Chains A and B, each alone.
Chain A
Amino acid sequence: MSKHLVFMIHGMGAYKKDWSKDAQATLKKSYDAYSTLAKVKFSDAYSFHEITYDHLFERIRDAWENESDGIKERLIAMGVSSGLVQTLTRLAQSGTGDGFFRTHILDVIFYRFFPTVRDPVRMHVAKSIAEALNKARNASTGPVKWSIIGHSLGTAVTHDTLHLMFASSASPDIPPLSVRDFSLHTYLACANVSRVLSKGNELSVYSSRVRPAMTPSRDAVMRYFLNAWNMFDPFTRPSRFEPVYATWLDTATQAARHAPFQDIKTTEIRQKNVHALEHYLENPAVHIPFFRATCDNLSIINKAEEVKALQAYRKAVIDAHLEGEADELRLLIEEHGGELKDLLSMGYSFHKMLETM
């Protein structure tokens, strides 16, 4: 079997090389616990490709910082402390520094409001995927299968990239990427924010081609879409992604035994950072559907194993004693609405909570 390619796409914040190692280790640990699944070694079953796009935001922040620093120095030397230039310089410097605003909130603002920043991000992700697929098809034995695990802001990036990379070009020299040969197998969206970020934007998440189908087509480019969200994760609550199956999926897909779309609501808090990707992946309610989907096999983890894993996880959750944090998060969510400003505000409050916990 050729290894199943899994692309990892990060969320907001600072990310460097190897950022996905912990998430991979979490998945491996879970994988090894299921006997039938583990008959194929984890490293033989999956090949992970992390995609990092944070550097595309970082280079802009750095350019602003360097440009405005020079002017600031000159203004100080000239003894100027007010005026338009001073104001503009201050404005340019508001996106710099190392605070939460710069490393997290600004990522979301860049992606949502700056088209000449978000399209390079999409291009980078699409190119990284296409490069890996091209390499795999020439090197692997067996058909190439590929999936994506997207997290937080990465779910919006994934959504837009998939929709646009499978769109037909206006140029007759560029045929659209074949859905038949290279449709996505499984998309695991953890803390999906694609809907709130699409509000008033160019791509609507419910009418895009980012949807599953028994028979993938230009209108539905994947086989499985797993939408995992934790009810205490503040990022998932504003304008939650909740499509109406009757209109979003075709009838054959709705009737499938192995559900192509699964809305996975989790209620457990095992670590303080309820939003962390690892926190999602360690939960059997999330990783079991992922393993089943990527193996195209509902019985690869049997019901008894599933029940046992869920019970063990819930026991670990009880042992973690995070009821107080759950109450705080519940309050935070109840205080906010469903708009982008609520997402950003909750993100900031959540960050402060994590700092004080």
Chain B
Amino acid sequence: MKTLPGDKYLHWLKLCGSAAIISLSLLIAPAAIACETPTANNVEGIVDGLKLNLRGCYGGDNDSSELTLSVRQQLNSAEIPANGELKESHLQAVEDIIQRLVNAVTSEAIRLENANLTGVPAVRSVAERLRQEAPSQTTDALRTARDSDGGWATLLDEDIYGPSVSNVPLMRPLETLLEPNCQAQPTSDACQQATESLEQLLRVANLMQEVNQRADRTLGVNLITFQRNEIMWDLYTNDARVQYPWEMLLNGHLYQRDLRQLERETGQDVALADRKPPDSQVILLHPGIGMEYVDEASDGSRFEPAVVMEWIGFNRWEYRGAGTDVRMARPLGVSLITTFSDRDGSKNVGHGLALHWKNNMTTGLSWRSGGEVGVFISIGLAERFSTEQGRLDKIKSWFGR
């Protein structure tokens, strides 16, 4: 294709512009971490460099080492499910990754040994510990026992590396590796070798922690439990009958009493995973509104709005469904009621019994001192956020009024 002279200028102009923007952005942007093996005139300086490099250079985004790239590739291709249900293929992948990490640490031990440097036994102990954490070497009991060892954390401020037993870490990297090899000659080849070995150990610790997190079963199981419990609590709050403050206090007290009972039985706090909402509610002094039909009342006054007071009652239901597909089933309740209405030809006050259906409808019968019987109906819940008139109109429409 033929290029016009004007296009050429435009092309150069674009190139110059891009170069200027890149240069400017380099000047403005903070200097990124270079991820180079730190060197300094003293051990403290080297440690500061290592701590800085811990922000992404060892097993992180900025790490392009062969070990990190291969472990990450293995991790991704293993496709470990989020719920932590590890199949044989996943376990084999974790086994292979850990073996790769063991080999990497063992190689460092050999390098240190060949260079006649201090710290070889400590590095070998890291390799051994890694080996013990391979799935083939681990039981559920061991896994539980290790839960309080701190995992593969690295705290250079405290000179701590790897899992601890009785607050004694697997390794003290500065004391056993860096200081003996660097204290006298911080710029020597020996110090350089020790620093590089420590870098590899830091990388291995981070990768090991990442592998453990990825293969962890507990997070997925607890997450599903929290999700399910939250849905159940939403159903309790939104779909069960509205509770007034005094009813919430009473039902809260009963819920808390059940928790305490459970605590006494198990001898421990009731975990969040076990805190499911109640499957019933006590109704107490609960005013509401609805429509009441009294046949004996005068024409035009038979079907009238009424205020109903539920003195005491009970409502219960079941939670059904697996996992997060949970719903309320068979809600049913009963209350002792008094209705108040303003009508001609009949007493205004009636006493009776109401049944609650599916949390959103209440039907009842009320008896008056004159012997008249009223039929009461109200809707709640689904219409919780509608106006009083809206609710009454809806009931009226059911009866063609």
Contact = CB atoms under 8 A, between A and B. Distances in A.
Contacts of B160: 214
Interface string B79-95: 00010000000000000
A183 B218 CA distance: 12
A38 B273 contact: no
B352 interface: no
A78 interface: yes
A116 interface: yes
Interface in B30-60: 30-33, 48, 51-52, 54-57, 59-60
Contact of A217 (B148, B230, B262, B380): B148
Nearest to B306: A74
Taking each of B29, B150, B217, B305, which has the highest tally of chain A beta carbons within 10 Å of its own beta carbon?
Answer: B150
Interface in A87-129: 88-89, 91-92, 95, 113-117, 119-120, 122-124, 126-127
Q: Which 10 A-B pairs have the closest CB atoms?
A: A1-B56, A70-B388, A217-B148, A1-B60, A167-B271, A143-B209, A127-B226, A215-B150, A120-B233, A164-B272
23 contacts: A1-B56, A39-B32, A60-B237, A66-B384, A80-B340, A85-B287, A88-B287, A114-B252, A119-B277, A134-B82, A137-B219, A144-B210, A144-B213, A165-B272, A171-B273, A177-B222, A179-B148, A181-B212, A214-B164, A216-B150, A258-B155, A297-B157, A300-B51
A210 to B, nearest CB: 12
A178 interface: yes
Interface in A203-231: 203, 214-218, 223
Interface of A: 1-2, 32, 35-36, 38-41, 44-45, 56, 59-60, 62-64, 66-71, 73-75, 77-80, 84-85, 88-89, 91-92, 95, 113-117, 119-120, 122-124, 126-127, 130-131, 133-134, 137-138, 141-144, 161, 163-165, 167-171, 173-183, 202-203, 214-218, 223, 250, 252, 256-258, 295-300
B110 interface: no
B216 interface: yes
A119 B276 CA distance: 9
B266 interface: yes
A15 to B, nearest CB: 18
B256 interface: yes
Contacts of A122: 272, 275
Contacts of B288: 67, 70-71
Contact of B233 (A91, A119, A133, A180): A119
Interface string B257-279: 00110100010111111110110
B287 A71 contact: yes
Nearest to A143: B209
A40 B305 contact: no
Contacts of B206: 142-143
B302 interface: no
Contacts, number: 303
Given A117-B252, A180-B147, A40 B391 contact: no
B114 interface: no
Interface string B235-262: 0111000101110110111011001101
Contact of A168 (B156, B236, B252, B271): B271
B287 A126 contact: no
Contacts of B253: 115
Contacts of A144: 210, 213
A297 B244 contact: no
Given A119-B233, A123-B230, A257-B157, A113 B249 contact: yes
B55 A1 contact: yes
Nearest to B286: A88
